[in-house]
Amino acid sequence: MKARLAEILQQAAAELPAVHSRPEFEAAKARFVGPNGALTACMKQMASVPKADKPALGKLINDAKTALAALLDAARERLDAAELAAALGKPVDPTLPSPDTPNGSLHPLTQTRDLITGTFKKLGFAIADGPELESEWFCFDALNMPDDHPARDMQDTLFLPPDARSSTTRRGNEAYVLRTHTSSVQIRVMLARKPPIRILSPGRAFRRDTTDATHSANFHQVEGLWVDRNVTVRDLKSILDAFVRELFGDSVRTRLRPSYFPFTEPSFELDIKAANMGRLSDRWIELGGCGLVNPRVFENVGINPGEWTGLAFGMGLERVAMLLHGIDDIRHFYANDLRFLRQFA
């Protein structure tokens, strides 16, 4: 019996490492410990063993049973590990970034701003910036806006408390406002530099607008200024034509429609018409305002209007983005809906 048990363990030690599938394992297990298995047959012989020999033989069988169980457990664990590895696939380094993580992208307004600024840089414009918190002088007075101008009304302008503090220059007892346009940057640049000047000022602006599909209390503008000798309306039209062709293609048409702004004289609205603008194709669409710098603005910043002339223009960044991409609701830009934003990745 002792020799038989040793033979069974030797056979199991040789066969079980060669098992590579679950059916093979179950068949091998049955050959050793199943109802008709080799170890089971040895255990059945205990009934015919003399009573005096049963304790010794029982110990041999239990030792063999324990050793065989260890061999079976090792084979089962090896199969479990192999099946798990097959399910997981190739090993990975968990310290590496996931290949399934989507790449981020610039916001569509940022992309549009970069497109506009890149276009005007080709035309020789430098980028200028200024504070969003302004005094009334920079935002209104210097731009030839009288005290009774509608833009200074509380319904349009966001005024700050009288004790508000800012790093901006304050003149007298003027109130601070959140700038209603980026034209205030033009005033700061003309005060700080001598002509010639050619700058573009993109940035945020604020008004007391009710948010709807085409309005927002917080929006973005891009404004340009060119001050030099003998700047004319022809230069204004030429620059704007080059700009809109860069954005909307060579087939786009432009026109300057007479209008009024206190800081330009004469003043115009820039309209465009293009065949590739979806439902707005072949319709005149207002893109922004423009004109020649009003001589009074030059006088306010210490520039001699008899020696220098200039042109200025401005447009809403959201409006340009909506026309470029066929977007019909300005609120999409601020909703942080990934389904919308991923279209611009």
Q: Of 178, 185, 131, 175, which is closest to residue 157 (Cα–Cα)?
A: 178
Helical spans, DSSP H, in the chain? 2-15, 22-33, 38-44, 54-88, 108-122, 136-139, 183-192, 233-248, 295-300, 317-325, 338-341
Cα–Cα separations (whole angstroms), residue 49 to 13, 164, 276: 27, 105, 100
| Residue 180 to residue 207: CA distance in whole angstroms | 6
Distance CA 246, CA 257 (A): 21
Residue with the bigger pLDDT between 10 and 130: it is 130
User: Tokens for 85?
Assistant: 């590895």
Backbone φ, ψ for residue 205 (5° rounding): -140, 165
Tell me the per-residue pLDDT of 183-209, one tens digit each, with 9 for 90 and over: 999 999 999 999 999 999 999 999 888
Count of CB atoms within 10 A of residue 75's CB?
21
For 22-36, 262-276, 319-333, which range has the lowest pLDDT when averaged over its residues?
22-36
Cα(30)–Cα(40) distance, rounded to whole angstroms? Answer: 10
Amino acid letter, 179? R
Whether the bond between 196 and the residue before it is cis, its omega within 30 degrees of 0, is yes
259 close to 268: Cβ distance less than 8 angstroms: yes
The per-residue pLDDT for 330 is 92
Q: Tokens for 240, please give them.
A: 């704007």
Q: When comparing pLDDT for 40 and 109, which is higher?
A: 109
Question: Exposure of 91 by Cβ count < 10 A (0-12 exposed, 13-18 middle, 19+ buried)?
Answer: exposed
Token code pair at residue 321: 């983005």
Distance between CA atoms of residues 160 and 166, nearest Å: 11
> Among 87-91, 150-154, 203-207, 337-341, which is the least confidently predicted range?
150-154
Distance CA 105, CA 125 (A): 26
CATH topology of domain 108-344: BirA Bifunctional Protein; domain 2 (3.30.930)
Q: How far is CA 45 from CA 34, 39, 52, in A?
A: 15, 10, 15
Cite the beta strand spans of the chain per DSSP E: 126-127, 133-135, 158-159, 176-178, 197-206, 218-228, 253-261, 264-273, 285-293, 309-316
Residue percentage of the chain with pLDDT more than 70:
94
Predicted confidence (pLDDT) per residue in 205-229, tens digit: 998 888 888 888 899 999 999 999 9
